[in-house]
Amino acid sequence: MSELFSEFSKAVIEGNLDDIVGLTKDALDRGLNAKDILDKGLMPGMDHVGAEFKAGNLFVPEVLRSARAMQSSMSLIKPLLAETGAAMTGKLLLGTVKGDLHDIGKNLVGMMCEGAGFEVKDMGKDIEPDVFVEAVQEFKPDILGMSALLTTTMRSMEHTIKALEEAGVRDRLKIMIGGAPVTQTFADQIGADGYASNAASAAELAKKLMS
């Protein structure tokens, strides 16, 4: 059985879309548990990809390919996970802040966090503070992740945190931020709970914030 899980991990690491879909269907037909596929096959594969990306041995296109492979398998097992009531790692709400149209980094964070077992809701880009507040009230995430790629849009992160405080929902969740101009110092200044410099670090941080 462990050999089968290794095949899942290998397909994720190699970004092999064709293999992973067939592998998932076969495993489910054989009665394999969807949560085991996620925990013992997909997640270890994505963890390896994250570690290699952080070490500079893999680059964004390769990580995206791995993440897409993982998502192809996830699309087949997600309904089964929901049916069995299997607990995900947590709920993550993601968005690029108002005035900013960059989303590759954010998309990668979403994929990596999905690979870490999170239920991810991606709001897209150019999200106003009050729209973040509405989404937090509706989706009830454990973590809100905000991204900014321009120094001019970083302040929108602070405005969003203030809006969450005013709405009385700030204390219900953890907030993590990231993006090229963002720093740990800035995260501390605006009252965020964490900062990540890349997608692999963001997935690690999200898991840490849940513990």
Q: Shortest CA distance to 201 belongs to which of 181, 176, 175, 170?
A: 176
The residues, ordered by sequence, that sit 6+ positions from 17 with a Cβ below 8 Å of its Cβ are 68, 69, 72
Question: 135-155: per-residue pLDDT in tens?
Answer: 999 999 999 999 999 999 999
Residue range 18-40: mean pLDDT, rounded: 93
pLDDT at 84 over 80: no
pLDDT at 180 over 80: yes
Check if the beta carbon of residue 157 is closer than 8 Å to that of residue 148.
Answer: yes
**What confidence score (pLDDT) does residue 85 get?**
75
Residue range 122-133: mean pLDDT, rounded: 98
Q: What pTM, to 2 d.p., does this model score?
A: 0.85
Residue range 195-200: mean pLDDT, rounded: 92
CATH of 2-84, one of 1.20.910.10, 1.10.1240.10, 3.40.47.10, 1.10.3720.10: 1.10.1240.10
Q: Which residue has the tokens 């963001």?
A: 202
pLDDT at 82 over 80: no
- Joined together, the tokens standing for residue 41 give 């096959």
Domain coordinates in residue numbering, the chain: 2-84, 90-210
Q: Is 196 exposed, middle or buried (0-12, 13-18, 19+ CB in 10 A)?
A: buried
If phi over 0 gives left and psi between -120 and 50 gives alpha, with beta otherwise, what is residue 15? left
Sheet with 174-178, side-by-side order of all strands: 118-122, 90-96, 143-147, 174-178, 194-196
Residue 78 CB: number of other CB atoms within 10 A? 16
- Joined together, the tokens standing for residue 146 give 């905000």
The helix or strand, by DSSP H or E, that contains position 120, with its residue range, turns out to be strand 118-122
Question: 34-65: per-residue pLDDT in tens?
Answer: 989 999 999 999 999 989 998 999 998 999 89
Q: Shortest CA distance to 27 belongs to which of 10, 116, 19, 79?
A: 19
DSSP-assigned letters across all residues of 167-188: TT-GGGSEEEEE-TT--HHHHH
Class for the domain spanning 90-210 = alpha beta
**What confidence score (pLDDT) does residue 88 get?**
82
